[in-house]
Structure 1
Amino acid sequence: MHTDDSPWDVLLIGGASGVGKSRAAARLAARHGAFTVEFDDVVAALQAATTAATHPGLHHFTGPAPAGGAERVLELQIATARALEAALLGVVRNRLTVDVPAVVEGDYLTPAAAARAAAEAAGQGRRVRAVFLHEDDPARIAANYADREPDCGPQPERAAVSARYSAWLAAQAAAHALPVLDCRPYATLPERLAAALA
């Protein structure tokens, strides 16, 4: 049900925005012949199929920017991630019905949902692994945004929230005994990620 050199059937790569998940996921998927799922696409589909009235937990960021500053934005980001836990479990269950390994990456993967997905899979004799990438330097995240989204200009406030969300994810991952990997040095991240999952 998996490639010979793959230590997982589904790999979950979580982490805050701007920490390098997509690039790391693409490299690992290519190495293992795996299908890649960007969880942001699932989030966008769910938001398109629902409304703020019917599913408020999915629509905290689809309207005007929330008031209340960075603390409120972080609170709503965590609330959105928790509202999407059932969707993540659905994606993993679906990927386990096929014989191609998959890498699922995204900002809204919670350690709680990842741990539950791994436990469910183990009960079926399947292997779901999870790792959370961590970057605690807002300036580094802002630099990553500048490289990725040069037309958006400086984004220090967004980067600051992302760094705090990264810290929350890292703490939650540790509580669920899931590996947390520092993103830097970025040049060696794919190799360190592969080693952590071996």
Structure 2
Amino acid sequence: MTKQTWDLILLGGASGVGKSLAAARIAATAGAFVVEFDDVVAAVQELTTPAQHPGLHHFGDGTAAQELPPGRVLELQIATAEALEPALLGVVRNRLTVPVPAVVEGDYLTPAGCARAVALGRANGREVRAVFLHEGDADRITANYAAREPGSGVQAERAEVSARYSHWLAAEARRHALPVLDCRPWSTLADRVDGALDAGGGGQISV
């Protein structure tokens, strides 16, 4: 990676597209550490109830996501992500108070929230950049799940939702002028992420 010019990276993308591996690579090269936004999600869900904040508990009413049609699961996933935007901004505000670089990665980072975070960093004289990874092929994501979670069997329905969510994230990221990178070919992803970061984490970069 070229000389680091950022303070905080927001790495978004659907489940099963390779965010964790990419985040670890970025962090190791830059001497940063990784913040898994899923941990923040779990914390705020633990601190609230469905009555207090229904937007955070769409999947906690006893209805298994597997029993819902993919379109409905996608709607609930998007709604949950949008409800979590204030939590993302809270994480960013906290990270801007310290000089240690970090990479925040997670399924629930929305392009709208990330665009606000980039602006927040700019207002504080800090470099916050956002990149979204995209994989729209459900079969590829199914294979990724099989490699990552071999004991869970074929997860085709979950992969279908993830692929649809990836398309939604990519479209929203482009609407907010944030870079979108196709995960494949994986062999060049690291260099393409470097290029997006060097470009400032803004503008429409789709490779």
* TM-score bracket, shorter-length normalisation: over 0.9
Match of 2:75 in 1: 75
Match of 2:124 in 1: 124
Matched residue SS, 2:64: coil
The alignment status of 1:37 with 2:22, answered yes or no, reads no
Structure 1 residue 49: deviation in Å? 1.3
Whole-angstrom CA distance in 2 between matches of 1:65 and 1:6: 43
Whole-angstrom CA distance in 2 between matches of 1:173 and 1:106: 15
Q: Which moved more, 1:136-145 or 1:184-193?
A: 184-193
Structure 1 residue 5: deviation in Å? 2.4
CA offset digits 1:32-91 (Å, max 9, x no partner): 011210000000111111111211111112333145411100000000000000000000
Match of 1:145 in 2: 145
Whole-angstrom CA distance in 2 between matches of 1:156 and 1:8: 37
Q: Give runs of aligned pairs for residues 48-59 of structure 1, distance below 5 A.
A: 48-59=46-57
Matched residue SS, 1:103: strand
Whole-angstrom CA distance in 2 between matches of 1:99 and 1:106: 22
CA offset digits 1:123-171 (Å, max 9, x no partner): 1111100000000100000000001111110000100010000000000
Structure 1 residue 183: deviation in Å? 0.2
Whole-angstrom CA distance in 1 between matches of 2:152 and 2:83: 28
The alignment status of 1:110 with 2:110, answered yes or no, reads yes
Matched residue SS, 2:178: coil
Paired residue type of 2:7: D
Paired residue type of 1:25: A
Alpha-carbon RMSD: 1.2
Report percent identity of matched pairs.
Answer: 70
Whole-angstrom CA distance in 2 between matches of 1:48 and 1:120: 27
Q: Give runs of aligned pairs for residues 22-33 of structure 1, distance below 5 A.
A: 22-33=20-31
Matched residue SS, 2:143: helix
Whole-angstrom CA distance in 2 between matches of 1:182 and 1:17: 14
The alignment status of 1:175 with 2:185, answered yes or no, reads no
Match of 1:16 in 2: 14
Paired residue type of 1:176: H
Whole-angstrom CA distance in 1 between matches of 2:145 and 2:5: 32
Matched residue SS, 1:54: coil
Match of 1:190 in 2: 190
Whole-angstrom CA distance in 1 between matches of 2:69 and 2:109: 23
Match of 1:65 in 2: 64
Count residues with an aligned counterpart. 195
Matched residue SS, 2:9: strand
Match of 1:7 in 2: 5
Paired residue type of 2:114: A
Structure 1 residue 187: deviation in Å? 2.2
What stretches of structure 1 of length at least 5 have no aligned partner? none
Paired residue type of 2:52: T
